[in-house]
Amino acid sequence: MTVEVGKLKFDANGLIPAIVQDATTKEVLTLAYMNAESLARTIETSQTWFWSRSRNQLWHKGETSGNTQQVVQIVADCDNDALVVLVKPDGPACHTGDISCFRTATTEVNLSAFLEKLYRVVAERERERPANSYTTYLFDQGLDKILKKVGEESAETIIAAKNNEIEPLVGEAADLLYHLIVLLVARGVTLDQLRDELVRRQSK
């Protein structure tokens, strides 16, 4: 995970830019700055620490919001004066509540990134069980209920596929995908495991 810290070139203020990127979707989440201390803490804790230029102090990402970032790898560029920090985010990176600080209202939503976010939200519902949540209801009802819903949505998707109109199929397929993710969370299967299995099959 670590870079050769001794080779890094910090600027006159003792800072180095750090591009934070989702390790799974490869979406760029934010641009921040590190000094030697925040980099050391990042390496030590495997969570992102930065140097806040506006507050002139160390900043542990997620300390207040809970939206921490688990560090997978830190890579320096060819000149050793910039970093890419690959992370698995636990919540949005941007203070606006968006996944990425670089996203605008017109930015196309990446399907992979959206599925990752949906999976995290469903997993959060399983842990916290907030009231008045349909996802909480499914988990409270148990595995048999979740399996029943997957079966129902599968049948409705098949029926919609027999019709000429596309919109009903899109809607039913989305329902099926959501309930399938609920099932995966309930059984402890990750999207990474699905990806790895699909890659394994592709290579055959």
According to the model, what pLDDT value does residue 106 have? 47
Q: Give the Cα separation of 76 and 78 in Å (integer).
A: 7
Residue range(s) of every CATH 1.10.287.1080 domain in the chain:
111-202
- Outline which parts of the chain fall under CATH 3.10.20.810: 5-89
Task: Please state the CATH superfamily assignment of the domain spanning residues 111-202 in this structure.
Answer: MazG-like (1.10.287.1080)
- pLDDT in the model for residue 174: 95
Query: Would you identify the CATH topology of the domain 5-89?
Result: Ubiquitin-like (UB roll) (3.10.20)
E-assigned strand segments in 46-178: 49-52, 57-60, 69-76, 83-89
- Can you give the pLDDT at residue 2? 65
pLDDT in tens, the chain (204 residues): 568 888 999 999 999 999 999 888 788 899 999 999 999 999 999 999 999 988 889 999 988 888 899 999 999 999 999 999 999 988 888 877 788 888 654 455 678 878 888 998 899 999 999 988 999 999 999 999 999 999 999 999 999 999 989 999 999 999 999 999 999 999 999 998 998 899 888 876
Residue with tokens 């990750």: 190
Return the exposure string of 35-61: e unless at least 16 CB atoms fall within 10 Å of the residue's CB, then b.
Answer: beebbebbeeeebbbbbeeeeeeebbb
